[in-house]
Amino acid sequence: MYTNYERRNKMKKIFLTLLVFLTFFTSNSVIANSISQKGQNTYEFVDSVGRKVMIPKNISKIVPSGTNAQLVLAGFSPEKMVGIAKRPSKEALNSIKNFPIDKPEIGQYYGKNPNFNKEELIKVNPQIIIDLGEKKKTIKDDMEQIYENTGIPIIFIELTPETAPQAYRTLGKVLNKEKLGEEIANFLEEKNTIVKNTLKTIPDNEKLTFIQVGNNALNVDPSNSSHTEAIEFAGGINKAPSKEKGAKSKTENLNMEEVMSWDPDVIFAKDKNSYDIITTNPAWSSFRAVKNGKVYLIPQTPYNWVTSPPSANKMMGIYWAAKTLYPKYFTYDLKEIETKFNKLIYGIGR
């Protein structure tokens, strides 16, 4: 027979054993449920450089990695942006009424003046960072470094004239706006096909050479760069030397003799100051392009149509440059294309 003391002691041991078991079971159930929830709410996304990134299925808070991505995201999904890379120009803001100008600046990772602000980024607490643009040599390492420094998932979506349609389809899936992504992709594919097919009908001896200038007209963008690919895609032959993508430009601050040696059929000016210099300064008067009235100021509204930043804006630059270079062959209504482009890409009137 057990004494009262022994009975109480035995019951206490049984109670403690049950308590330990229940605690263990509950803790593991919570952990398992947490892991399950995480699996349900995220998925593996493979970006344009093959990185496998776990991202949320329902994204409502995004930030751009810089101005290239900002241009795209502000037109595609401004309501989801919790931070901006840089305040746009007054001209851009006058046109793009839905730009999230009230959001804090987090800076940009790339560009001439990179100023990515980790502290500000963490404050706005986005679910994801999105980078769009050309595939730089260091892009994979750059993405990993940003993730390691911030703990925030970051994906890269390549956006060039060739990949732009797919870039918008991908963006539509990531941000649950597939209908808009598909509409933009179809529009760009249709226009790109028109440009490609029309260029095939132009004889080689009618193809025109060009240079693209800025910064007092002595900063010439090299060929095969993200800054000139719009005009090259449109059938222009760049007379400036080529450079490896991602390398430093070797065509900055050139002297007049160097520029004159190329003597292109057409000169495209990136800014009004350069355009005025080329068209009024006697030093430029002997250029073939000046003599023949083939100096063009690249349209600037709401952004430069070719570069600065070299993002989705360059797609409109392609359609403009093709018609500017070869008006006899490209007979489409540019104003009609511009109106639809602005609606789809920038959200103007959407």
Q: Which amino acid is at 117?
A: N
Residue 18 has pLDDT above 50, yes or no: no
Question: Does the CA dihedral 264-266-272-278 come out positive or negative?
Answer: positive
Residue 85 contacts residue 106 (beta carbons within 8 Å): yes
Place of tokens 């730089």: 136
Domain 42-158 and domain 203-346 have a common topology: yes
Q: What are the structural domain ranges in the chain?
A: 42-158, 203-346
pLDDT for the residue numbered 9: 52
By the 10 Å C-beta count (0-12 exposed, 13-18 middle, 19+ buried), 73 is classed as buried
Q: Cα 200 vs. chain centroid, distance in angstroms?
A: 29
Three-class SS state of 155: strand
Average pLDDT over residues 248-275: 85
Q: What is the pLDDT of residues 116-174, one digit of tens each?
A: 899 999 999 999 999 999 999 999 999 999 999 999 999 999 999 999 999 999 999 99
Residue 38 has pLDDT above 50, yes or no: no
Q: What is the pLDDT of residues 51-110, one digit of tens each?
A: 999 999 999 999 999 999 999 999 999 999 999 999 999 989 999 999 999 999 999 987
pLDDT for the residue numbered 112: 65
Residue 346 has pLDDT above 80, yes or no: yes
Instruction: Categorise residue 244: left if φ over 0, alpha if ψ from -120 to 50, beta otherwise.
Output: beta
Q: What is the pLDDT of residues 303-333, one digit of tens each?
A: 999 998 999 999 999 999 999 999 999 999 9
State what percent of residues in the chain have pLDDT above 90.
77
pTM score:
0.85
Residue 32 has pLDDT above 60, yes or no: no
By the 10 Å C-beta count (0-12 exposed, 13-18 middle, 19+ buried), 21 is classed as exposed
Mean pLDDT score of the chain: 88
Q: Determine the Cα–Cα distance for residues 150 and 129; give it in Å rounded to an integer.
A: 10
How many CA atoms does the CB half-sphere of 96 hold within 13 Å? 28
pLDDT for the residue numbered 259: 87
Tokens of 335: 């104003």
pLDDT band per the 50, 70, 90 thresholds, residue 258: confident
Residue 14 has pLDDT above 60, yes or no: no
pLDDT band per the 50, 70, 90 thresholds, residue 254: confident
pLDDT for the residue numbered 284: 96
Residues comprising the chain, all counted: 350
Q: Determine the Cα–Cα distance for residues 215 and 221; give it in Å rounded to an integer.
A: 11
Place of tokens 């007379």: 239
Cβ burial 258-278 (10 Å sphere, 16+ → b, else e): ebeebebbbbbbbbeebbebb
The reply to whether CATH 3.20.20.140 applies to domain 203-346 is no
Q: What is the pLDDT of residues 219-234, one digit of tens each?
A: 999 999 999 999 999 9
Looking at per-residue confidence, does 28 or 138 come out higher? 138
Average pLDDT over residues 232-239: 98
DSSP string for residues in 38-66: HHHHEEEEE-TT--EEEEESS---EEESS
Question: Does the CA dihedral 167-171-172-173 come out positive or negative?
Answer: positive
**R_g over Cα of the chain:** 28
pLDDT for the residue numbered 11: 54
Q: Determine the Cα–Cα distance for residues 166 and 186; give it in Å rounded to an integer.
A: 10
Top-tier CATH class for 42-158: alpha beta
